[in-house]
Amino acid sequence: MHEDVEKILVSEEEIKEICKRLGEEISRDYADKKLLLVSVLKGAVVFMADIMRNITCECEIDFMAVSSYSNSKTTGVVKFKKDLDIDPDGRDILIIEDILDSGITLSYLKNVLLQRNAASIKICAFLDKPANRQADITADYVGKVVPDEFVVGYGLDYNEKYRNLPYVGALSPKVYADK
């Protein structure tokens, strides 16, 4: 375990089980549709890679980059950094997100895609942290609900660090407390 991590919240083995379970559910639900998986960069890219290997129905992938965070706090203002390359018009979209926290970013993103005439939009969140929800949004597929702690690993970061940890852990407050 990394020295800045207080405890492991989701083990490597549990991550594999979550991806398998969600992949099976998504494959069943989208069996007769043209699924477009949209990864929210950068954090969800690891989850997207694992979950798409567990999806058996036809699917394409694309990426968006949006953020409402600065260091460890949400700013409440969503910044759009990268748009889709595939036109969402008429597509069944599944947004792949690393963590549903405040909900501000995902709510914004879902509204943008609805305005672009997506046929359907659902959300698959690896982690759900309902304690911090500020927007009225829920995930359609949830890997695991986590407590109100700052989590890192498996794509999740703090100042671009810890993304490469093979598990999800609670970051020690000493790392970010005075920032």
Specify if 153 maps to a domain: no
Query: Given this model, what pLDDT does residue 68 score?
Result: 61
Specify if 30 maps to a domain: yes
Query: Given this model, what pLDDT does residue 26 score?
Result: 98
**What is the spatial distance between Cα 18 and Cα 53, in angstroms, rounded to a whole number?**
12
**CATH code of the domain containing 121:** 3.40.50.2020
Nearest to 44 by CA among 27, 74, 64: 64
Specify if 156 maps to a domain: no
Specify if 61 maps to a domain: yes
128-152 tens-digit pLDDT: 999 989 999 999 999 999 999 999 9
Containing structural domain, residue 62: 13-147
Torsion sign over Cα 152, 137, 37, 71 = negative
Mean pLDDT over residues 5-26, rounded?
Answer: 97
30-83 tens-digit pLDDT: 999 989 999 988 889 999 999 999 999 999 999 998 866 555 565 666 777 888
Specify if 164 maps to a domain: no
Q: Looking at 34-157, list the stretches that DSSP marks H as alpha helix, in order from N- to C-terminal side.
A: 45-52, 104-115
Specify if 138 maps to a domain: yes
101 labelled catalytic:
yes
Specify if 154 maps to a domain: no
Burial 17-54 (b: 16+ CB within 10 A, else e): ebbeebbeebbebbeeeebbbbbbbbbbbbbbebbbeb
- The number of folded domains in the chain is 1
Q: Which of 50, 98, 101, 128 is catalytic?
A: 101
Specify if 174 maps to a domain: no
94-117 tens-digit pLDDT: 999 999 998 888 898 898 899 999
Are 117 and 90 spatial neighbours (Cβ–Cβ below 8 Å)?
yes
Are 107 and 5 spatial neighbours (Cβ–Cβ below 8 Å)?
no
